[in-house]
């Protein structure tokens, strides 16, 4: 299985400040056939199901504010919230879909207000 | 707007079979562009994909759970189902159903989740 490792486990950021979450895969999830990174990001607010934020590592899902951005390639990826808002308090997960017979998620990063 | 809703018993005894149904509304389960998936989240833990099925009953499974899992679909009733046999306390979790993109297995729509506890 491809292991997805997120860091940090949690972070506290002041309102309006930047939050950065990293996700590392145990092997490349960049396809040589289409030059796409097979990575998605999700946001899970307390008491809610996960919500898709990004796919193909950096393609923003419908309705996702542009203060959120996804970047990275190969094995190293980043989710950035450029100006943290109160409604961004959540746990964020990455997920690889390169290995389609063994889909795996990262362990999650909890974002709180400082 | 697509909606998915999980239903089933909230309590299952150890060694028995956990069974859940996901009802799809506001969209077609007969979609060649999607798979339909089950994902679980143990209390305080992360997400674990369980299995996926297409409208033509093509399936694939998490290797770690495959021996205990059955997934099925009933397109006439717009629902798909999960069975997990021989459960233990480790199977206590919130079980989510989700829509999966066929050409790229990420999940673009999720149900609210159903908490299933395994306890005698």
Contact criterion met (CB < 8 Å) for B47 and A49: no
Nearest CA in chain B to A50: B110
Round to whole Å and give the CA distance between B97 and B38: 5
Indicate whether A20 pLDDT > 80: yes
Contact criterion met (CB < 8 Å) for A106 and B46: yes
Beta bridge partners of B62: none
Q: Which residues of A touch B96 (CB under 8 A)?
A: 49-50
Compute φ and ψ for A86, nearest 5 degrees. -60, -35
Please state the rounded mean pLDDT for residues A9-28.
98
Shortest CB distance from B63 goes to which of A38, A93, A102? A102
Please state the rounded mean pLDDT for residues B107-113.
98
Whether B79 contacts B29, CB under 8 Å: yes
Indicate whether A113 pLDDT > 80: yes
E-strand stretches of B55-110: 59-61, 69-74, 79-84, 93-101, 107-110
Nearest Cα of chain A lies from the Cα of B83 at a distance, in angstroms, of 19
- For chain B, give the percent of residues with pLDDT over 70: 100
Is A40 an interface residue toward B (CB < 8 Å)?
yes
Please state the rounded mean pLDDT for residues A35-47.
97
Whether A2 contacts A65, CB under 8 Å: no
Chain B residues with CB under 8 Å of a chain A CB are 46-49, 60, 62-63, 96, 101, 104-113
Question: What pLDDT shows up at residue B45?
Answer: 79
- For chain A, give the percent of residues with pLDDT over 90: 98
Round to whole Å and give the CA distance between B94 and B23: 16
Q: Which two tokens stand for residue B65?
A: 């759970």
């Amino acid at each position: 299985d491809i292991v997805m490792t997120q860091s940090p486990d949690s972070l506290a950021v002041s309102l309006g400040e930047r939050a950065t979450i990293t996700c590392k895969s145990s092997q490349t999830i960049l396809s040589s056939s289409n030059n796409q990174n097979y990575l998605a990001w999700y946001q899970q607010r307390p008491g809610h199901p996960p919500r898709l934020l990004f796919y193909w590592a950096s393609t923003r899902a419908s309705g996702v504010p542009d203060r959120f951005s996804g970047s990275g390639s190969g094995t190293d990826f980043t989710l950035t919230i450029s100006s943290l808002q109160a409604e961004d308090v959540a746990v964020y997960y990455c997920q690889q879909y390169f290995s389609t017979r063994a889909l795996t998620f990262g362990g999650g990063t909890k974002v709180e207000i400082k | 707007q697509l909606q998915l809703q999980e239903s089933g018993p909230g309590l299952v005894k150890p060694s028995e079979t956990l069974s859940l149904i996901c009802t799809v509304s506001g969209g077609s389960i007969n979609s060649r562009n999607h798979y339909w998936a089950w994902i679980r989240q143990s209390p305080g833990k992360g997400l674990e994909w369980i299995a996926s099925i297409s409208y033509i009953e093509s399936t694939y499974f998490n290797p770690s759970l495959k021996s205990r899992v059955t997934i099925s679909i009933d397109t006439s009733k717009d629902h798909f189902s999960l069975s997990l046999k021989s459960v233990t306390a480790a199977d206590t979790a919130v079980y989510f159903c989700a829509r999966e993109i066929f050409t790229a297995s990420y999940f673009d729509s999720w149900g609210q989740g159903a908490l299933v506890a395994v306890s005698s």
